Structure 1
Amino acid sequence: MKRLWCCLLVALSGVAPAQPADTPAPLSWPIELHADDRPAFPPPAAGWNRPRDAIAHGRLEMVDYDSRTVGTRRHMLVYTPPHYDPQRAYPVLYLLHGIGGDETEWQRFAAPEVLLDNLIADGRAVPMIVVMPNGRAQPDDRARGNVFATAPAFARFERDLLDDVIPAIEARFHTRTDREGRALAGLSMGGGQTLNFGLAHPDRFAWIGGFSSAPNTRAPAELLPDAEAAKQLRLLWLSCGSLDGLLRISQGVHARLQSLGVPHVWHVPAHGHDAAQWQEDLYHFAQQLFR
């Protein structure tokens, strides 16, 4: 039972415990690669994810907000870019975690503040605010106990995001408030949330990124009943590692988009369901935003 639980976490969590490489995850499927399941971008150059002393740095801070959806005061981690100017309206990326994570998960394993500092310093990313909320919309939102039992709270987060998180950010920081000034992305469970919420609300987000999306992703025909919503986007990004047992979920969405003639990025590098995949996703995705 203990090994089964570890495997379940590998399948859907942002933090993968060590296990033998040949141990299958029960919530995964056999991997069948297709001709177009390949990287859309080359691997990043050396040093891409290391802190650099000779550049300006942004700021990370924990921000509290009142959630009417949940009925509690909640927390989100916020990155503001170097030389943040409160008189300037910044675009915002809302970045969602996996089922085993919380508002600190992205910072703990992917250091988005380092990636963004480096990309902005090199002129490869637009200065932006990055918001990392807790996607578990329930009073006890800690990742403990049976995290799979909290799946309904991940669906409920749609209202918390739209009705509470975004208004709180726009009240506290000087942000753009148009759809083209908002991006939504996430990993695993957060990737499923991103596709479910973003494609349902193209009036709120123009840039969407699903990284290794988990089984909470709606079925392709339900997610995309027609091409209308997806064709309103400036960017629709789908990615998953070629060694990831959840690849078929993203493959299904990719096939549906192809059948509808919807432009999108399809990125399949040689990674598993792991932090290396998601850090590389963020590196490439951030460079496409708000241009």
Structure 2
Amino acid sequence: MSSQPPTGPPSGPVPRPSGPAPGPPPPSGSGAPRGGRRRKRTLIGAGAAAVVLALVVVLVVSLGGDGDDDGGGSAVSPAPTDTKAAEAAAHAVATRVALAPPDWGSGFTQHKPYEVDPAPESLVRENCEFASRPSRIGTLASLQRNVTETASGIAGTSEVKVFADEATAKQYLADARDNIHRCPDQFRGKERWNGVREASPPQLPGFDELVSEEGRQVVSANGATVNDLYVIATGRDGRNILSAYVVGKADLDAQIQKYATDSLQKMHQRLGQQPEAAAGR
């Protein structure tokens, strides 16, 4: 999530390690996970049936992983049988729970891109490069909304992920922790972050797990030296993952921390509301 540093309104939240991160789409034509084997085209007689069966097995195995060994993130569970209905229900939850500018407070406006849907996952490679990848198998919805506070230059992102089951959500959060601890100093292009660490999470009731990440961006995307603090507060409630990312000038530390905590709490409150009650707010 990094943003160009807030020297005035930031040029945009760009997700930091283990938080939401707009990333490149999968390579065109790659409908199956990487590592799938090429199919031999012709066989004769009874041998063809055996090869077809073998290919089915290979396809099933290849679909069991996300195809990227960097930084963890193996798939845990398949999507439900009625995938379309499950995805529609999950997307409705994500759309209802993710925050709009007024939810952050007065002075916040939409930031482009305002909504990233689907939002990919973050990844910290073994060489400490911050990157992103498509969502893992078992992700039913992954939606992100970006905002900016004009006066302070603080940028915020709320993200909601809904998984097929609790086991996949737990694995996602475990992988997020691995990302945090992989490298204290990270990079992406010209961008540099220092002091990446797992911090004490906000004390919020109702979550099954809470994780907090903090760090400083010291070089922006255009190569300029900056001193920006970012905080990512993430909570798991069952199979749902909620994240609030906030970045701003380092001297706005207390304000950044408060926005992250308050935004995560607000999303959790929305998650617990019945859709009818939320619509009638």
Q: Mark the structure with the bigger radius of gyration.
A: 2
The TM-score, its normalising length taken from structure 1, stands at: 0.30
Counting helix residues as a fraction of each chain, which structure ranks higher? 1
Higher percent of residues as strand: 2
With normalisation by structure 2, the TM-score equals 0.30
